[in-house]
Every structure is written in structure tokens, then in C-alpha cells.
Structure 1
Amino acid sequence: MKTVTNSIRYSALLMILILTGVTVNGQSTPQNNISTQDSIPVTKPLDTLPGTEKTSDSIPVNKVLDTLPGVEQRADSVKTPVNISATDTIKERKSEPIVLEKNKKYLLGGISVVGNETISEQSILIFSGLNSGQRLKIPGDKLSSAIKRLWSSKLFSNVDVFVTKMDGDAVYLEIVVRELDKVGTLTITGLKKSKIEDLKKEIEFQAGSMLTENLITTTENFIKEKYREKGYLKTKVTINTKKDTSFPNTQNALIAIDKGKKIKIKNIRFYGNTALSDKKLKKTLKKTKEKGITRLFSPSKFVEDLYDEDLEKVVSLFQEKGFRDALIVKDSLSWNDDNTINLDIFLTQGERYKFGQIDFLGNTVFTDEQLQTILRIDKGVTYNGKALNERVYGDGTPDSRDITNTYLDNGYLFSRVNAVETSAANNTIDLEIRIIEDEPASIRKVTIKGNDVTNDHVLYREVRTKPGDLFSKSDIVRSIRELGQLGFIDPENIVPDVQPNFADKTADIEYSVSEKGSSQIELQGGYGGGTFVGTLGLSFNNFSIKNIFNLDEYKPVPRGDGQNIALRLQISKFYRTYSISFSEPWMGGKKPKGFNFSIYNSSQFGYDPFTNSVDKDQLLDIIGASVGLSQRLKWPDDFFTLSTSLNYQRYKLQNYNISSFDFDNGISNNFNFAVNFGRSSAGPNPVFPSGGSQFNVLLKVTPPYSLFDDKDYTDLPDEEKYKWIEFYKVVFTGKWYSPVVGKMVLMSNAELGFLGDYNDEIGAPPFERFYVGGDGLQQGRFDGRTTIALRGYPNSSLSSQTGGTIYQKVGFELRYPITLKPSASIYALTFLEGGNSWNEFDEYRPFTLKRSAGGGIRVFMPAFGLLGVDFGYGFDTIPGSNNISGWQTHFIIGQQF
């Protein structure tokens, strides 16, 4: 109906135009009487957008005023045919000439829209920004901008604008559009179902997307590049579309993918090298390997970008060996009949050089001797371009020891250091290290952005760059680490922005942070060992105790002050445990002095494994409390902390038998003082440290009660001997994190523990013992025991039933991060470790360890903590058995990094 109406309207308009033309031609007044000063003759073009030719002051109204790429002549319009230029389109709908005055603003009398099918007229007018009643020039910026906005909406394949009517100084426009087709159903073939689902999430080619040539091209290129990076060099991608007759402006799409076979590298051949063997050069190509049965962790594939990076490593290797002029002349790729490729690399290595005279120029802050100790390059040694660059400019690591960073760490933000070769005669490189020190810079302002929950003072107190201090790059690096260690700031997204102010020699520093979930919930239930076990745990790591009575701050709990509060409840038929703890890392808010306390209770009932029955008249009840203080030290450096605590446990036995006791009823008390001296520089990510170390020395002691009385403990019953237990306990733990290759990190671990006594007549207490083997989880025990993980063996299987008094463990763990996003941090690991425990010091054999190896994975989610699984193989026998341990599976739950 709309088409019929338009046809009638256009036919009537044509008749009027013909009659008007006859009338005009019959008049006696010539048309050339129109003044060219105040009007725009229809025989000349009007101003155009960039790219069109501008002539004189007039345009023909039946010619193009403004055009945009891709516009076409409407087949049903009644107007003189025109050649469309590549800009906006504004066309005169009337066939007779209309005089338009240059630079005159016309009143927009009305706008109509033609050609829209799924997009409403109102939406198109809103996109254009044009409104009836506004004044605008024709042509002019407003009209051009309106057409550009319609094009930039990416909803149309064609946009035309026509002048349909003119009434005095009022003009009427018609916007003619052709809508882009949309993608209907999308089908992908050629891949496994799971891979198809993953690909659909990655591409922009989605149902409902506007179907453009650019979308098709970019999708094809994305898929091809995705599989080229995996070694599929001959990947073919075809995208076909077909009109969907069920819906207007819709085309269904089929993406057909043919990956082909993975292309492997058969031969890598070097030409021109005499100083270094092909074998050594091939090892340098870390991401480009020949095929072979030994390629398990670095399979053969060709990825052009990685290959180019490897070629740079080859040149760098030659430069390390003194061949300063080494160069890759060319390289080529050829195909074999078995669908493999050959890589031929042609190089020139040049001659070997050595370092000559090295002079320092411009240095006044540091002496030549001081700078030489940093440079560590002596005259006469073989030239090493890589070492030179790293020791002058840095190796890219935060703790790089080089001349440039030395100046930056001491306030010289505006300093410049350049190594300049002054001579290369006789294959000897003389160098000048030219230094422009400038003035030291101070910090003018420090700001933090991105924290919506955490209060500013909690973050500012961890920042080591303070206004008024000298600028220091190392302080910035340390600030990033300290912020990342908080637990509620994403350590992977801390970005410092240093803004130098050259005029006054100051710098502004802005830290951009991203908060992550800091609260954890543990809610689980399970059936095992003949009983249901239910656990509820809540941990809030960014709590605000001062707002605990402010109901407006419960979102869902008061947060923002960096405090920690944790509650845990576990109940089964055999036992129940309760615990609550609180810690404040900055007691008083001004100094890093921590405060913590905890209260807990554990009740264990008698259990008959043969009848699976529980006797609640048999009870071991443990009540305990702990209160402690900690202090960050400044000596030997401020990575050290000293913490102390007072701890008390009361063990009540009621008809309850423990193998380490000779009594079933009574009370035993454990009052001890603990001192922990440690240093932690690991970071910046506490979940996945990539550098630094952690070590702790724990000393736990009780008063030596037996030394203050005259009792003979030889014949005393256990209920009297252990009424107040006495001991001293020393535990050393150390972990070192070392980057290996890329993101891979090696964690080395060493541990040693000893439980001693003051009186040989009493011996070591039945509590506070060491249990080695398994996953290392405490599992709700509050008897002071130390559980040591040794994967590949059952839990506590490497200690006697009563626990050991000495233990030792060493281990190596190779870790690789899969993702370190705030929502979930995931890394894979392989391990080698060994350990053991002994009951007496006379039995201690430091080199007799139970060995294991295996692998696993860790997933850390802020809401649930650390989850993981390990598969370990124990190579040695379990005490009391003649069989080796073999494969064991361990599930990890809790904050164990």
C-alpha cells in the first residue's frame, strides 16, 4: 500500500512539474536575470564535503549536494539521473530549478523517512539529530553531520537525503535509507562441538549483528590467525549467507572451517655459522622446534610472530659471544611432500670483538668505581651486547641492578644514561657511558584511584612513595607489592602512572587499582566414614569493625578497613568444632603493628569402628584461646616481621583413650609463649609469587614447671605428669621463588622442625607433635599438632601413631600460570619432594627421606579460597608396610600457596 501511495504521489508530482515547465518556457522574462550575488544558480555545484570539488557560489538543485560512500540512485525517484560522488547525499526532489541563497539558514519545515523496515522512523530521526523547526544551511555542517551519524550507526547500507519541498525559507527533507541485513541463525562446521561453542564466544559474528563485508572479512581473518598460531598454516574459512524469508532484513550464516593438518617443521637449517653449532642455535629457538618424538612440552609448529622473536634470540646469542655484527641475512620457508616445512636461515656472524676502554662521563653523584661495580664489565673480556644493555638500561625486571635504575632509585628521574661506542679498531670496542644527571626529583602528589570499597587510608598506609620524598623507582615497585599483598586488591592490575613535572623537578604518581572479592564462604556437606559432615565457614578479609553497629554499612557486611574476621563451624556424629578469629594489621592506624586473637573449641566423642556407634560419654574436649602482637621491623630491612603470642589450651579427657596417654580421665593444660621471626619478599601476587622469598623461624616454649619443684617424675602417673605440659618447639620453613622461562616459576622449599623437652623423666609431650604425609590439612585439629604435606603418601602415614618429634622436608615445585584474573587464578604445577619424621633425635637421618613426584592444579577464587588436586607417586614404602606407596590423590582446600 505504501508503494502504491508513493507511486500516485510521484505521478502527480511529475504532472505538476511538466505543466510548470511549459508555463515557465512560455514566459517572456529570461532566467539569466537572476542575481548571482544573492542567490545560488542551479547550474553550478554547491559547497561539498572534503573530497568534492567546490566551484563558484551556486549548485543545481537536481544534482548531488553532499554524498557518502555507497549511496545509490533511487529507482523510484523522479529526478534527473546524477553521478554519485563519495560523500553525503542530498538531492533535490523537484525537477524545476529552485534558487537557494548561499550561507542562508533555512527553517527545517519537516522530515520524512522512507525505506525503513525494522527500525522506526523516530529512531532514525534521533540518530540523525535533525529536528523540525531548527535552522540550518543547505548544504552545511549540520546536514553533513546528520548523514555521517546515520552511517556511523552501522545500521544502513545506503543513506540518501532529498529536498522534497520548499515554502518560502522553509525546506522539507526526505531521508531515504536501506537497512543492513542482520545475522540470523549462525552455524559453524568443521570443529568439535566444544570448540564451536568456544569460538562463538570469541568472534564478533553473532546472531543479531549487522551483516557487513567488514564483519565477514575480520571474522575470516580472526579464525585463520587463531589456527595459524596453533600450527594449522593451511586453515580455510568460508562464510556463506542466505536470505531468511521468515524475517525481514535477515540472513542466516554458515561458517565452514577446514583446519587441515597441523604443519610441523621437518628441518631447521642454518647457513653461515661457524662459531656456534646448529644444535646450540636450535636450542635458542624456544618457540620454533623441529618435529620429533621428544617434543612433549614444546611441540613443533610454525607461528610467524614467535619465529621472528626466535630469530632475534639467535642474533642476541651471537652478540653475547662477542659477534657484535651478527645479522640474519635472509630466511625462507619451503614445503615438503609430506606436508611439513623446512626453515632455512642464512646469517653472517662477523668477527669476534672484545671490550676495550670504558669511561664514565658526566657522573658526579656516583664515582667511577661505584658505577663500575654495577656495570661489572672489565677491559679485555669478550664483547657481550646483551650484558651491556642489561647493566646500563636494565633487564626489564623490577629488581634489575643497572646504572639507569640506580639513578632512578636515588631521585634522578630526569637523568639520562647512554652507552656510546667510540672506537671499534682492532676488534676492540671502546665505550663511553655518558650520563646527564640533572637535578633530583621529589614527589609532589600521590593519588590512588579505583577503590570503591576499601577506604583510602588502608591503601595509602601501604604506599612507600610519600609527598616530599625523593623519587625512587624501587619504592614504586615495593608499593605495588604491598598493595598486592593485601588480599583484596588485584595484584595483576596495579598500574602506577608517573607524571614528571620538568619545570619544578617534581613528579606526581597515581596508582590505579582494581578491587577483587575479599570475602570467602565455605558451605559444604558430605557423607563419609559412616556419618554426615557439615561445614560452615565465613571469612571477611576487608572488614570494618568500627562500623559493626552501623546498619547502613552492611553491604552485606561492613567493609573497607582491611581487618579480618573468620568464623567456622563443623559438625558430625563424631565431633564438633567452633572457632572465631580477628586480626587488625595496623592497630591504632598509624604504624604496622598487628593485633590478633582467636577462640576455639573442639569436642571429639568415642567411636567404635566395628559397630559405627558413638558414645558421647567418651569425650575429648579442647578449649583454646590465643592473643598476639606483630611488628614490621626496619632492621635488617623492612621485609622482616616479629610476632609474639600467648596461647592456652585445656584438654579434658572423660573416659577417652589416647594412645600417647596412659590415662582416660583428667585435664591437661598447655600454656605457651610463641615467637615468630620471619621475612617475606615474595610477590607481587600472593597467590602466584613470581619472585622473592619467604622464611620463618618459630619458637614455642612453655615454662619449665618440673625444674621448679622437687617431684620425682619417674613414677608419676600420666594424669599428674602431663597436668601442665612442658616443651620447647622450633620450626624453620623457607620458600624461594625463581623465574625460569617466561611465566614459569620454580618454588624451592626447605623445612625442619624439632620438639624438645626440659626433663628426660617426662619426655616430649603427647601434643604439639609433627605428622608428615598427605595433603597437610589440619582437618579441625586443635591439639597443637603440625601437619606437613608430603604428596604421594596417605595423610600422616610417615609419622608414628603418636606423631614425631623431628621432621624434615625438601621440595621443588615448577609452576605455570594458566590465568591470573581476579575472578579466578589458576596455575598448574609439577613437583619433586622428600621428607620424613623421627621419634627421637638418635634416630634422625637427614638423608633418609621418603620421596615423591607428581603434578596438580590450583584454582583460587576469592569467594572460596584455594581449591586444588594433586596426583603424587610415592617411591618408598610406608612405615609398617613392605609395599611402596604408589599413586595417591590429594584434594587441597584452604589458604595454602
Structure 2
Amino acid sequence: MDKKVFFLLIFFVTLNTVPAFGQNDYNYISNIEITGNINVTNQLIKSASGLALGQIYTNDKVAHAIRDLYQLGLFKDIQIESSKSDKGINLIIIVTEWPILQDYTISGNKKIKLDAIKNKIRLVPGDYWSGQRQLDVKNDILELYYEKGYRFADVTFDEEFQSKNRIDLGIIINEGQKVVIRGIEFTGNNDIPDKKLRRVMKTKKSGFLRSGEFNMEKFEEDLVRIVDYYKSKGYIDAAVIDWEVEYDKKGQLYLSLDIYEGDQYRIGNISIEGNTLFSDEILLSNLKFEENEIFNQGDFDEKLNNIRSIYYEEGYIYSAVSPQIKPDGDRVNINIFVQENNRAKVRQIYIKGNKKTQEKVIRRQLAIVPGDYFRQSLILQSQRNIYNLGFFEPNIGLDYQPINDDGDIDLIFLLEDKESGTANMGVNYDEEDKLTGFLSLSHNNLFGKAWALKLTWEFSGKKQEYDISFTNPYFYDTNVLVGADVYHLRKNWTDYNYKVVESGGGFRVGTRIPWINYSKITTGYSITQKQYSILDTAGTVSSTLQDLVDRGKILTSTMFLTLERDDRDNVFRPSEGSLVRSYTELAGGLLGGSENYIKEILQTNWYLKLFWKFSLGMRWRIGYVKAFGDSKEVPPDELFYPGGTGSDGIRGYPDNSVVPEDADGGKAEFITSSEITLPISGDQIIGVLFFDAGNSYNYLSEINPQKLKKGAGLGVRIMSPMGLLGFDYAYGMDRESRSKWQFHFQFGSTF
């Protein structure tokens, strides 16, 4: 290169760098002035702008400063002016603040309550009243009205400015006329008539007992329902091509939906490939269809999930079961591709969310342990066992984390605590004891160890009862249950003309039966002292009762044995599974005491899911009590008194009223009940439709299932802080009284 050219290049490079060294002070920010702010401090504006003295001034920095200030949401307008001086660049930040909300009122709302609107807009005095905030408030209010069918509602604002850039705001609502659906029409549906499609939709035109409200979210779900309905009828290509909403001059709404039906298909050949763990026969047995059956997409997807469940049950959680559906004339041939992938083994199990319950209590409920292969059934069983403790909300979650290339996982159970301890007082009512007060202190998870402690006092003009109960289900961290009870009872049996005063206590021990799933055995001993007296000496007194009165204080020594198998999916509101329980009680004999009798009760409950959210519960109960040895009669309070609610309940009849003629109570009983339940509000409110039938007898041989007292009715179950409350209204079909209807109130559940 020529030397002259080289030196010329050096000269120009040097010339271009001179301002950076010789005139650098001239391009630096030397002063920042802020004007227009009323409530926002200079410091906040300077800090948020990012501008500072000594920085090199560029247009990009100014643009970024304006953007950052706008993002605060405090300013309606922002300008930055610059001027040069001998010391550098002088900046003036000129802002116009949004006003601050001092107070606000809402008017014009008649169809929606004021609190509902306030909760929706969440407007608080002290907020900056920006254009975006105004738009949000308007849209939130209109959303509430649109959901109610007021599609022409409008919102305006009245702003009254006060000192220091503060405003009093008036939110004025014009509700307008409620939009009602007057018609729903379809085009393109040649095979399925309008009437059937309208039945599929939850959006309905106005009519008898129908509001005709238009809800966009519900309508969008209806579009999916229509397509799913077509696919259930073999129209696998069906679609809602377009839809329109039109209003007439009165503001009434008309819906028009354009349907593409496509062809209807029946099931052709079904094949499967990629499976090595399970044979074609085993997998395809879950996809049985009738010959020439119309292809039902929903039914097919459900059966396909059964194949996926087979793999998940064996730990192949990464498996993929993908169908390929190919039309062939009026048939669809289905080829199922299976990718089995690796089998997942559980390395660790973590439990999160248990703030009150010790982790060892929860781990005892796990049916799956580290080292096991993942099994879907064991996961579901573990979730059910944890929920049935009664310590956690029903939404027991499950997550897993892959830990290596082999697909092994760590399981994570996600729990949410609920209240375990309660202190209740209130009023109860039943036909026998009438108005009864109660005070109850209980805790079913004491110290987070699943210990249960309950103290109860129940009192009325006819009854006084004190009861203290304690249970430790895991004695010394074993599966052995131990418990103890102490109680005192004084009760007037006015219908049978006697009073009994009873005091006693006992203990119990139980454990699981390892070779029978979901089963346990419990035994215990109790000793009580009873004393009977006659309420009305002028009334009728049986020889048995007179003998008990004459004996004074009577000591009763008893043992019991309970065998139980319980595989209900939910002990609080079961919908599947069963409960089978056998109870045997022996008094006297080798145990000593003044009374000698044996009592046997066998009860079985069965639960079945019906359809949608409906479930069926069925109960059968048979009992028998018999005196032996020196005792000629069974104590009257050990007899059976069906009627009303409770374990011996027959609804439609007063409590304890179904007894044999000319007898104080029954020595045998047979009861059967059926309930259809429907959740109204989760597990909190349950609707019930029921049928009861039963009777009591003098002898076991007299039991006749064809001669029972029958009752039917409806009710509701409410989960309250005091426990499960039941309200039933029943018709006693075989009552001899003129009025056959009976109202029942109960704590707890018969089922």
C-alpha cells in the first residue's frame, strides 16, 4: 500500500475520534428537570426513566425512558425536551399524571347486586384512574351483564375533579333490555333434524321454565357437543362451519348454525401392531363391537383408553396408543399403533402439603412403595386411603418426575389440609327425645398422629348423656388400634314407661387382617352399671320391667367382636364398593355380671355408579338378640327398636316405633334401604331419593321379607362444621295413623 494512502487513513480515523476525547463533555447529560408532576415524586420519575447525570445522551435512551415511564401506568402523557449548553445536555421531563381515585359510586344496577360488581372490578380509592383502568372496569361490568343475557348493557363514567388531581367517580350503568333467545336454526343438516340437535345443546330458546339467556361460554361448549353428537352417530368428518347471531328490532336473539355432516361410517376391520407385551387378543378384546355397528367416536375413545390402562397398570406410563382411522367406502378401518417404551419403577415417594399430619401417618395409607413398578390401581387406592383419613380435601393430586434415561420416576402426592378439630354446640331434634341440646369437642387428628378424641354432652328434659372417647389407630407405630370410652346416660323411655341410669366404660383393640384386602378385626370389653325405675306407677308395667326395677343396680359385663371389610371409594360419600360388617356381643356367662345375652348383627352396604353423577346405595341389616343362662329376658334397652333414622332407621315412621304388638321391643330385626344420591354442590350438599323397608320380631324365625313396613321420600345431606346433617321427608306406606308423612333430622349417615 502507498505510504500516502496509509497516513491519510490514519488521519481520518483520528479525526473521527476527536469528539470522544476532546468534546465528550458536550454530549453528556448535565441536568434533568421534571415538571407537571403532582403526586408522583421526582425521585420515582428519575429512577423509572433510567436517565442519570453523566450518561451519554442518545435518542434511544430518551425513547426507552419514555417507554419505561409509561409502563408505570401513572401518566397520561410524557414528553422529554433536550437543549445544549456549555456543560452538556439539559433534559426536561414533562409529565401529565392520571388522576387518583378519591371515591366512587355505582348507579343504575338493578339486576346485579352492588357487591357482585365491586368484587368484579376491584376498584379501590387511591388507584390511578388511567385509560386502561377505565376500559378494564367497563369490560368487567359488561361481562357480568353479558353472562346474565343483557347484551345491550352500557357503562359510562362521570368524573368530578378535586384538588391535587383527585377525582370522585360515578359509574353509571345502563342495563338495557335483556336479550332472550327466540330461535335456533340449522342449515346443512340433511340427516339429523333440528329438533335432535337442539336437544344436544344447553343453550335453549326461551320457553316454559327456560330463561333463554345467551351465554357465550356455554354456546361455545354447545358447538363441541354438536360435533361430538355427530361423531357418535358415525359422522366422523362433521363440523360446525359457521354460526351467526342476529337481533331483531326488539333486541331479541336468533342463532343460525351452518353444519357440515359428511358421510356416515360403520366399523370395518380393526388391527393392532407394535405390541409385544400383550397379545392382539388381549388388547383387541377391549374393542369389541357389533357387526355392522355405526362408528361411535366417543365409545371408541373410551374403549381405547382401556388399552392404555392395561399398559399404565403394568408401569408403562410412557406408552403411546395411537389409532389411524381410514374411511373405506361406508366403513372405517382402524389400525392401532402401540409404542410400549420403558417400564417405570418408583424410586422415591414425596408428600407435599401436609402441614398438620405427620408424614408417617400418610405413608401408612400408601398401597405403592419405593421399588415397586408404577401401577395405576395402586395409585388410586393410595389416593382413596389418604382421603378416607378425613384430614385432607378431596382434590388429592399426583405428580411424577422422571429421574433417569430408563424412565424411572419419583412420585409426588399433593395434599391440602382441612380442619380436623371442631367445637360444636347446638340443638338436635328427634321424635323420641324431642328438643335436645348438645356440646361436642372433638379432634380426629390430635398432634398430627391420627389420634381421635371426642367429648360429648347431650341434654334434654328426657335425656342426659356424657361420653368421652379416645382412639389411637397406630399404637406404638404399628397397625394395632387401641381405644377407650367412658360414659354416663340417664334417659326416660316415656313410650315404654321406664327410666334407665347407666354408667360404664370399656376398651377396644383392632388390627388389619393381612390376608383379606380392606378388612380389619376389632374386639373389646366393657362393663356397665344400670338401674331401672318406673316413670308412672299408675301406668302399665310389664313383669320383665318390674323384675329389672326390683333388682336395683345391675352390672353388665360384655365383650364384642367386629369383622369388617370396607372397599368403598369414599367413606364420606361412597359411590362404588361395599361395606360388610359382622358384630357379635356377648354379655355374662364366663364374663360375669348380672345379665346374660348374646347379640348378633350382620350388615352389608353396596354402592354403584349409575349414570352422570347419580349413585345407588343399598343396605341390608339383620339382627338377633337372645337371653341365656339365668337370664330369662333381654334387657329392654338391648332390644331392637326400628323406625326413624339411624342404624335401625325406617324413614316414614317415628323413631323406635316399629316393634311387635304387645312387646316392649324386638328380639330380631330385618331392614333394607336403597338411596339414589346426586351431588348438588360437590361433597358439601347431596340430594337423596330413598326407599326403606323393615320390621322387628319376637323371634328370628318370624322374619318375613314380604311383610315389612315400607317408607319412601327425599332428602338432602349437608356437610357442615358440626358434621354431616341430614334432612328427610318420608311417607310411611304402612302407617296406621291418619298422617303418613314424617320429617326426619339426623347427624351422620345411615349409609
Is the shorter-chain TM-score for this pair beyond 0.5, marking a shared fold? yes
* Distance of aligned partners of 1:883 and 1:531 in 2 relative to their CA distance in 1, 3 Å threshold: closer
Does 2:101 correspond to 1:183? yes
- RMSD between aligned alpha carbons? 4.3
CA contact (8 A) 1:266 1:340 kept: no
CA contact (8 A) 1:451 1:514 kept: yes
Equivalent residue, structure 1, for 2:697: 839
CA contact (8 A) 2:568 2:579 kept: no
* Distance of aligned partners of 1:533 and 1:847 in 2 relative to their CA distance in 1, 3 Å threshold: closer
Give, in whole Å, the separation in 1 of the partners of 2:533 and 2:587. Answer: 28
* Distance of aligned partners of 1:624 and 1:468 in 2 relative to their CA distance in 1, 3 Å threshold: same
* Distance of aligned partners of 1:321 and 1:806 in 2 relative to their CA distance in 1, 3 Å threshold: same
Q: Superposed, which structure 2 residues align to 1:432-447 within 5 Å?
A: 432-447=335-350
Equivalent residue, structure 2, for 1:371: 283
Equivalent residue, structure 1, for 2:675: 812
Give, in whole Å, the separation in 1 of the partners of 2:532 and 2:298. Answer: 72
| Amino acid across the alignment from 2:297 | G
> How does the TM-score come out when normalised to structure 1?
0.70
Does 2:184 correspond to 1:282? no
* Distance of aligned partners of 1:645 and 1:609 in 2 relative to their CA distance in 1, 3 Å threshold: closer
CA contact (8 A) 1:205 1:215 kept: no
Instruction: Quote how far apart the aligned CAs of 1:627 are.
Output: 0.8
Instruction: Quote how far apart the aligned CAs of 1:431 are.
Output: 1.8
Instruction: Quote how far apart the aligned CAs of 1:464 are.
Output: 3.7
Give, in whole Å, the separation in 2 of the partners of 1:181 and 1:125. Answer: 20
Q: Superposed, which structure 2 residues align to 1:814-893 within 5 Å?
A: 814-818=677-681, 826-840=684-698, 841=700, 842=702, 844-846=704-706, 848-856=708-716, 858-861=718-721, 864-866=722-724, 868=725, 870=727, 872-874=729-731, 876=733, 878-879=735-736, 881-885=737-741, 888=743, 890-893=744-747
Partner of 2:691, secondary structure, is strand
Give, in whole Å, the separation in 2 of the partners of 1:259 and 1:643. Answer: 68
Tell me which of 7, 14, 17 is aligned to 1:37.
17
What residue ranges of structure 2 are gaps of 5+ in the alignment? Answer: 1-13, 536-540
Does 2:318 correspond to 1:414? yes
Equivalent residue, structure 2, for 1:429: 332
CA contact (8 A) 2:101 2:129 kept: yes
Tell me which of 157, 161, 186 is aligned to 2:76.
157
Tell me which of 370, 375, 385 is aligned to 1:482.
385
What residue ranges of structure 1 are gaps of 5+ in the alignment? Answer: 1-33, 42-57, 59-96, 395-401, 545-559, 710-719, 777-785
Instruction: Quote how far apart the aligned CAs of 1:654 are.
Output: 5.1
Equivalent residue, structure 2, for 1:652: 530
> How does the TM-score come out when normalised to structure 2?
0.83
Equivalent residue, structure 2, for 1:755: 624
Q: Superposed, which structure 2 residues align to 1:230-629 within 5 Å?
A: 230=148, 232-245=149-162, 248-258=165-175, 260-261=177-178, 263-267=180-184, 272-274=189-191, 276=192, 278-285=194-201, 287-293=202-208, 295=209, 300-335=212-247, 340-377=252-289, 380-392=292-304, 394=305, 402-421=306-325, 423-492=326-395, 494-501=396-403, 503-524=405-426, 535-544=438-447, 560-571=448-459, 575-589=463-477, 592-604=479-491, 620-629=501-510
Instruction: Quote how far apart the aligned CAs of 1:370 are.
Output: 0.9
Give, in whole Å, the separation in 2 of the partners of 1:172 and 1:507. Answer: 63
Deviation per residue, 1:36-63 (Å, 9 max, x gap):
525489xxxxxxxxxxxxxxxx9xxxxx
CA contact (8 A) 2:473 2:481 kept: yes
Instruction: Quote how far apart the aligned CAs of 1:272 are.
Output: 2.5
Give, in whole Å, the separation in 2 of the partners of 1:426 and 1:193. Answer: 56
| Amino acid across the alignment from 1:724 | E
CA contact (8 A) 1:594 1:631 kept: no
Instruction: Quote how far apart the aligned CAs of 1:404 are.
Output: 1.3
Instruction: Quote how far apart the aligned CAs of 1:238 are.
Output: 0.8
Question: How many pairs were matched up?
Answer: 721
Equivalent residue, structure 2, for 1:723: 594
Equivalent residue, structure 1, for 2:8: none
Partner of 1:488, secondary structure, is coil
CA contact (8 A) 2:32 2:90 kept: yes
Instruction: Quote how far apart the aligned CAs of 1:300 are.
Output: 4.0
CA contact (8 A) 2:26 2:86 kept: no
* Distance of aligned partners of 1:482 and 1:350 in 2 relative to their CA distance in 1, 3 Å threshold: same
Instruction: Quote how far apart the aligned CAs of 1:418 are.
Output: 0.8
CA contact (8 A) 1:356 1:428 kept: yes
Partner of 1:375, secondary structure, is coil
CA contact (8 A) 1:216 1:239 kept: no
CA contact (8 A) 1:692 1:738 kept: yes
Give, in whole Å, the separation in 2 of the partners of 1:144 and 1:875. Answer: 83
| Amino acid across the alignment from 2:738 | N
CA contact (8 A) 2:421 2:443 kept: yes
Instruction: Quote how far apart the aligned CAs of 1:511 are.
Output: 2.6
CA contact (8 A) 1:772 1:807 kept: no
Deviation per residue, 1:797-829 (Å, 9 max, x gap):
4457844431423232332343x5xxxx63241
| Amino acid across the alignment from 2:595 | W
Instruction: Quote how far apart the aligned CAs of 1:521 are.
Output: 1.0
* Distance of aligned partners of 1:619 and 1:850 in 2 relative to their CA distance in 1, 3 Å threshold: closer
Instruction: Quote how far apart the aligned CAs of 1:192 are.
Output: 4.5
Deviation per residue, 1:4-54 (Å, 9 max, x gap):
xxxxxxxxxxxxxxxxxxxxxxxxxxxxxx96525489xxxxxxxxxxxxx
Give, in whole Å, the separation in 1 of the partners of 2:146 and 2:112. Answer: 19
| Amino acid across the alignment from 1:415 | S
Give, in whole Å, the separation in 1 of the partners of 2:110 and 2:639. Answer: 54
* Distance of aligned partners of 1:763 and 1:498 in 2 relative to their CA distance in 1, 3 Å threshold: same
Does 2:605 correspond to 1:734? yes
CA contact (8 A) 1:806 1:844 kept: no
* Distance of aligned partners of 1:645 and 1:149 in 2 relative to their CA distance in 1, 3 Å threshold: farther
Give, in whole Å, the separation in 1 of the partners of 2:133 and 2:25. Answer: 42
Deviation per residue, 1:142-168 (Å, 9 max, x gap):
988776665444333345566799896
Partner of 2:113, secondary structure, is helix
